[in-house]
Amino acid sequence: MKAMLMATYTPAGLKGLMSGSDRKAAVEASLSQVGATLINVEFTRGVWDVLVTAEFPDGNSLIGTTMAFESSGAFEATDYLEIIDLPDVVTAANKAAGSYTPAG
């Protein structure tokens, strides 16, 4: 499953960035421990400081990675979004809608 992790750094985390720490390598090392593959790391301006796009083997590895990142103390907020294949979702929705009977 492909997902995007979003995070906002704490002041201490920002100091670490300023010291020249290789965050891409750190993220890749962490992801590899749960069988995930890094697709991209981007730093942004706005609510989120960093966006990580990765391929995860399952939802547990995605949620566990998010928990590990947030519990590190480097982030004040984290979240994740599962990236979906809309045509596949629409196909499933149409199958379910065709057999669903509402109450009443």
Closest to 78 (Cα-Cα) out of 61, 63, 66: 66
pLDDT at 47: 95
Structural domains counted in the chain: 1
CATH code for the domain in which residue 82 is found: 3.30.70.920
Is 27 inside any structural domain?
A: yes
* 39 in a structural domain: yes
- In this predicted structure, the answer to whether residue 26 has a pLDDT above a threshold of 90 is yes
Beta carbons of 74 and 16 less than 8 angstroms apart: yes
What's the rounded mean pLDDT across residues 41-61?
Answer: 97
Q: Is the pLDDT of residue 100 over 90?
A: no
What's the pLDDT at 44? 96
* Host domain of residue 38: 2-99
